[in-house]
Amino acid sequence: MGRWEPNARDRLLRAALELFVDRGYENVTVAEIAARAGLTKRTFFRHVTDKREVLFGGQEDLLRTFTDAIAAAPDSATPIAAIAAGVEAAGAVFRLDRRELVLQRQAVIASNDDLRERETLKSATLTATIAGALRERGVTEPVAGLAAEFGNLAFRTTFARWVSPGNQREFTELARETVGELRAATAALG
Amino acid sequence: MGRWEPNARDRLLRAALELFVDRGYENVTVAEIAARAGLTKRTFFRHVTDKREVLFGGQEDLLRTFTDAIAAAPDSATPIAAIAAGVEAAGAVFRLDRRELVLQRQAVIASNDDLRERETLKSATLTATIAGALRERGVTEPVAGLAAEFGNLAFRTTFARWVSPGNQREFTELARETVGELRAATAALG
C-alpha cells in the first residue's frame, strides 16, 4: 500500500468520524464510510485495510516525521535534543486547524475497548521507532532505550496538553516546554 | 474473584503450557486444560475468566509485589531507589526454580499475535501502577510518570536478561545491576 495524498486521508477520516460520532463506531460499515467520502468500497480498501485503520492510518506519517527529525538533528545533539526535534516536528501533523478532527478521533477511540487497546499498541511502536532512530545516530543501549521511553512520554504529555479543553497553543511550542520539564525531572529521579 | 493459592495457579499454568506447547495455543480448549489440571470446568472458571488469563493471571501478584515494595521503601528513598526495591522484589515471582515455566510461557505468547498484544497491554498497566505507587509516596508529576517509565524499562530489561539463554543468575541480582546501569544512563540523556 503506497503513501497517498494526505487530504484524501483526512477526507476519509472526516467522513468516518461524522458517522462514528453520530451512530457509534460499532454500528458503521465500511461501505457507509466509503459512500460518505465519495469513494467506492474497492477504492476504500486500496487505501486502508479495515475500518479501524481509518483511525490509525496517520501513524506512519507521524513515525516518519519523528524519525526524519531525529535523523536531521545535528551530530552534536544529545539524545534529548534529538528527541525534542522529533516531538516538535510532530506539530506538522497536529496543526491547530486539525485539532477538532483529532479531538473527535480521540473521543471515538475512548468509546471502544478495542480501539483503546490499538492506541496503546501503536504507542509501543512509537517507542521502538524512536529507539531505532537514536541507534541510527550511534546512541547505544541502554541509553537509546531509556531515551525512547523519555521521548514517548514527552510526546504523550505534549499531546495531552494540546488536546486539553481550551488549549489554543501550538503543538510545537507545547513540545518545547514539555521536553524542558521532563529534562529537569530526570535530575529528580535520584 | 479472590486471590487463590499460588501453587494451584502454577498447577493450572503447567497443565495449560504442556497442552499449548504440544498442540498450539489456538487448538486447546478450556475443558482440556481443566481436565489436565484435575479441575472441573466450573472450578476453572472460578479461578480464571478465560483461556488467555491462565497465562496472564499472575500479573496481579506481580503488581502487588511491586507496589508493596515501593510503599515499603524508606521515606528518604529517591524515586529510582524505590523503583529498585520494586524490581528486586519481583525476584519473589521470578525464582530460578520457575524459570523453565516462565520460558515456556514466553514461547507460547510469542507464537500468537493476540497474546503478544495482551502482553504489551499488561506492560502499560505496570507503568501506570508504578506511577500510582510513587504518587502515594508524594512524588509529583512529571517525575512520577518519568520514573514509572524508567521502572517499566528496568523491569523489562531485567526480565529479558533473566530469561536469556544460559542465564543462571537470580532475578534480584540482575535487577540491582540493571537499575544501576539505567541510572547511569540517565546522565547521558543530555
Q: What does the pLDDT look like over B145-189, one tens digit per residue?
A: 999 999 999 999 999 999 999 999 999 999 999 999 999 999 999
B78 touching chain A per CB within 8 A: yes
Going along chain B from its start, the domains and CATH numbers come out as 1-55 (1.10.10.60), 58-186 (1.10.357.10)
Of A57, A70, A52, A48, which Cα lies nearest the Cα of A155?
A: A70
Q: How far apart are CA B112 and CA B118, in angstroms?
A: 10
Residue B125 has pLDDT above 70, yes or no: yes
**pLDDT, mean of residues A102-120:** 93
**pLDDT, mean of residues B30-46:** 87
> Confidence class of residue B46 from pLDDT cuts 50, 70 and 90?
confident
Q: First and final CA of chain B: distance in angstroms? A: 47
Supply the angle between the helices B99-110 and B143-163 in degrees, to the nearest 10.
100
CA dihedral A11, A25, A152, B143 (to 10 degrees): 130
Q: What is the pLDDT of residue B2?
A: 42
A160 touching chain B per CB within 8 A: no
**pLDDT, mean of residues B137-144:** 96
Q: How far does A149 lie from chain B, in Å, by closest CA?
A: 6
Q: What is the pLDDT of residue A2?
A: 43
B159 touching chain A per CB within 8 A: no
Grid cell 501533523 is found at: A93
B10 touching chain A per CB within 8 A: no
**pLDDT, mean of residues A105-117:** 93
Grid cell 524508567 is found at: B150
Q: How far does B66 lie from chain A, in Å, by closest CA?
A: 18
CB-based contact A190 B142, cutoff 8 Å: no
Residue A146 has pLDDT above 90, yes or no: yes
Q: What does the pLDDT look like over A40-71, one tens digit per residue?
A: 888 888 888 889 999 998 888 999 999 999 99
Percentage of chain A beyond pLDDT 90 is 78
Interface confidence, given as ipTM, is 0.87
Q: What is the pLDDT of residue B4?
A: 52
CB-based contact A189 B185, cutoff 8 Å: no
